[in-house]
Structure 1
């Protein structure tokens, strides 16, 4: 009875988490204690003892609408009934089975990592990283179609695909970064302190390309055109890709661009 009480006390109060299953109460306690340890910290919302049945899959499927990665059953030293496996495949619930707790952990963390990478790929076009760029003297290589400039990355991350605007010119949009070069070698991004050449093209085929000298000049800083949507995407899928300084820049640009 005490073991069951301890297991129940470990259920995550948020109501979100994986579903755990074990062969015995003792095994269940060992598994849940492991999951709640600070080094692991995987929340669970419900549990059962014995083989995985359809009812267990149905309980785990509740997370599909709340937090997809938690629509998962961690089955420790138990069998999965054929009809339960069929239902899991149909509904999208993942079942991981192992007779060693650490193996369950490895399977689940690998799954989470893959999910994160998928989300990054799906949202890549909408993810706008924060940056502030300063045009370097004598580094205007082409004024329009496309604009090619040598810039100093004053803050943040200058990444291919980043839309740019000019705060000092009423936030006029000048296009997006089509390429970044360091020492004549193309790279995906440049970070604070690096001096790079960037090519800027129109954001879309219907948009007229802005030009250096007419729409902006040497004194104007270029900043990434972040939005409420792009900030949310960074928080959801790219949180670990940004440093503390980068996040401070997001807050700064949010204020400059008057984003709610």
Structure 2
């Protein structure tokens, strides 16, 4: 299946999928394609007006619900309103933004990209029947998890290393979630995917004019489109893959969709467990199976 595309998606009739950040970019394509093949898709978005506009561009059974991953109260409210779900796609994210804090006082990138999704997954886990797919990045290779200063309170803040930390956290979360699912005897699977380098509006919100211009040039010269990037997520959603698989382009940014490798730091079971325990403390959520 090395030439797999979204055209190869099986029917998702009768299944419910939640996609975070589904109002644009990779999330919108992911939601659109799953709705096209019959899934009931819940677009979990911070801006419901943009979510409604995205839903209007889709065919099938789509519903827009508010979810702000940078606010744990919003995460709890969203999760309480879900009766059941087959697949959760943790897609939403911010990238290389200036230093800011979430509602709960977390550094915004680790708070949105990891801790918000961590809490959402744990709160929904008893209602999930199939799998959790979390979108990471090749930038996890530059990431380092500081368990003593996860929220950049005592070290100088740098936007790209903070992004790398959050994307590394996505992979460690996936590995530890799968370990816990296996220990609980659950058939639910945890998987991760990365899009390669796809041109989306994510690159336009760094708050750095020079960085924005470089990103725009990179998008024109190097990037694939959002359909290609979302293909990696859709493959992880639809294919029969082992738990803790990491899916992406075979050649980092381009090439056929395949299971791919991860950095040595992303393979540390000790760090994965420690990060999970710290995340439980910060979000006041726990593995619920």
Same fold by TM-score, threshold 0.5 exceeded? no
Higher relative contact order (CA 8 A, sep 6+): 2
Select the structure of larger CA radius of gyration.
Answer: 1
The answer to which structure has the higher helix fraction is 2
Taking structure 1 as the reference length, the TM-score comes to 0.29
Bigger strand share? 1
Provide TM-score, normalisation by structure 2.
0.26
